[in-house]
Amino acid sequence: MSVDTGARQRLAGVRYLPRQDGGINGRVEDYEVLVSADGERWQTVAAGSFPEDRTEFTVPFREVKARHIALKVLSEHGASDTFASVAELDAVRAR
């Protein structure tokens, strides 16, 4: 899942909001955050695990100049490991 911010800019994180209905299937557990200036070459800037929770999470990373930001899902909460769901995914701009 990726976001094109429209132009290269200083980015410092990503905000992820899990699905908000009653189920947990598809909520992201293990992830990597990647950035790209051109949408072709990607660089991993963060990795981790989200708890089984409905709250919004912010994943900070060292400031980079990029146009694209992606959340690569490595595993999800639930029994299937067949899909992931995201209610919202936003780039966090550097201040």
CA 1 – CA 23 distance, rounded (Å): 20
Domain ranges of the chain: 2-93
Residue 9 reports pLDDT greater than 90: yes
Per-residue pLDDT reduced to its tens digit, 15-70 = 999 988 877 778 899 999 999 999 999 999 999 999 988 899 999 999 999 999 99
Closest by CA position to 10, among listed 51, 61, 54, 76: 61
- More confident site: 61 or 77: 61
Please give the CATH number for the structural domain made up of 2-93. Answer: 2.60.120.260
Question: What pTM does this model have?
Answer: 0.91
